Amino acid sequence: MPDTYSVMDMGFHEPGIAAAAGAHGSGHPLPGSDAAPVSVKDLTERATGPADVSVRLVAAAGRVTIGTGITVPGITLNGSSPGPVIRATQDDVVEVTLVNESVPGGTTLHWHGLDVPNAEDGVAGVTQDAVHAGESHTYRFVARQAGTYWYHSHQVSHEQVRKGLLGAIVVAPKAAPAAASATVAGAATSDVLALSHTYSGRRTINGRVGEQHVDARPGDRVRVRVVNTDAGVAPVWVSGTAYVLAAVDGTDVNAPTPVSGRAVVVPAGGRADLVVEVPASGGARVQMSGVSMVLGPPGSTAPAASRPKKDVDLLTYGSPAALSFDPGKPDRTFAYSIGRKPGFVKGRPGVHWSINGKLWPNIPMFTVAEGDVVRMEILNRSNETHPMHLHGHHVLVLSRDGKAATGSPWWTDSLEVPVGARFEVAFVADNPGIWMDHCHNLPHAREGLVAHLAYEGLTTPYRVGGTTPNEPE
Ligand code: C2O
Ligand code: CU
């Protein structure tokens, strides 16, 4: 590998299988434009005027307090980890200034699950340079999607995220439509965040170990916004009452039904909004492995229960609804097949992650045209599970292991792909840019489980590698 390099020069362009010209969309071969390429730097929001939400986040290396008298080494934002919750209303202009006070090697912020313009995506070496100690960088985007999201560093992310350079961003729907109060999500009377992170081997919710209490009255419906910021799955379940899974990865589930005796398995990077009705008898306990949150009147408690044997299956949960596009008529079809293969990665011999039979840095650049309906088959032929995350887009799950989805439209940005599994997903290429498409078990990304989705006619002026020193993974 050269000392520094552009991701545009990595691996190979993968144009996928294009539909015949005239069938539906572009249908033309890729890449193939004579026009000068557009820089991702110019893919900004173009939203001028004052911001509706303006936040300054100061990143510093230091110690994180995760309980009374318990501190661990980590990275804080404005003195704590998780950083402050950023709250916005749909269509707000959000402006965040990241100040790097003392994070060695530089840092960035990526808006996980928010389909922001590419220039704001926060990937060091692809959409910006890492922000070094003493420097700052301002992000600006319109929060178009309501729901639960999070932000985290995308510079040496396998290390900086683990150390706590992260926080939640919650976007409230613009106006409660008249019909909303009739929906489960609309009927929630209060709202609480439950961001889970493991610091130095200790699991926390909202940065605190053990059990915590959230005041609520019997009959209250509390929307619990679970965010999994760890590298592995985070099962969550409720004891003391039934619950409803109201949203997945920020998108409301259509016609969710009450759940009891089942856990929701939140993939690495994923979110699940649970609406929990506080029982007349006292409290309800929202549980994750080793931590819990009791919702109820002051002093109330609820029995703990072990993890239910069954999980909610998103392939069948909720009811179908009309889609905004036709996944049955793709313009382009890709395969993203994960395996293991012997070879050298970053100078190290070993048995490494492969994508479509090739090893990093010979990774595919899935190339699309704006407006394409894209289908992708994701296969896991390796011996470990992979939570796959595509930046800048949400994908619709069509099938798993050949079994078609029959529940609510399942829109996701963080999809758990177990060993041996085969998913078919589809999305609309409606957000031009160069986007990472990687495993969110971030050490796996570091080991080479990374590809990119690029729109034709784009390029990046940024470089990854040695002296820059941009290292997104
Ligand atoms: Cu949550 Cu590429 O990241
Ligand atoms: Cu992985």
- The answer to whether the CB of 436 is under 6 A from ligand 1 is yes
Give, for 445, the enclosing helix (H) or strand (E): helix 442-446
Distance 387 CA to ligand 2 centre (A): 6
Supply 216's token pair.
């609520």
Distance (Å, whole) CA 9 – CA 443: 23
Give, for 5, the enclosing helix (H) or strand (E): strand 4-5
> Which ligand 1 atom sits closest to the C-alpha of 161?
1
Distance 186 CA to ligand 2 centre (A): 35
pLDDT in the model for residue 8: 82
Distance 165 CA to ligand 2 centre (A): 20
pTM score:
0.94
- The answer to whether the CB of 152 is under 6 A from ligand 1 is yes
Which SS3 state, helix, strand or coil, does residue 192 take? strand
The mean per-residue pLDDT over the stretch 45-70 comes to 92
Supply 145's token pair.
């999607």
DSSP 158: H
Q: Which residues surround the ion ligand 2 when the cut-off is CB under 5 Å?
A: 386, 439, 441, 444
C-alpha distances in Å from residue 128, one per residue of 35, 119, 202, 460: 23, 7, 33, 9
pLDDT higher for 33 or 432?
A: 432
DSSP 462: -
Which SS3 state, helix, strand or coil, does residue 36 take? coil
Which SS3 state, helix, strand or coil, does residue 133 take? coil
- The answer to whether the CB of 352 is under 6 A from ligand 1 is no
Distance 336 CA to ligand 2 centre (A): 13
Q: Which of 19-28, 78-87, 286-295, 326-335 has the lowest mean pLDDT?
A: 19-28
Percent of the chain residues topping a pLDDT of 90: 82
DSSP 101: S
Distance (Å, whole) CA 261 – CA 461: 52
pLDDT in the model for residue 25: 46
Percent of the chain residues topping a pLDDT of 70: 94
Residue 199 in this model has a pLDDT that exceeds 70:
yes
- The answer to whether the CB of 223 is under 6 A from ligand 1 is no
pLDDT higher for 26 or 81?
A: 81
The mean per-residue pLDDT over the stretch 73-100 comes to 97
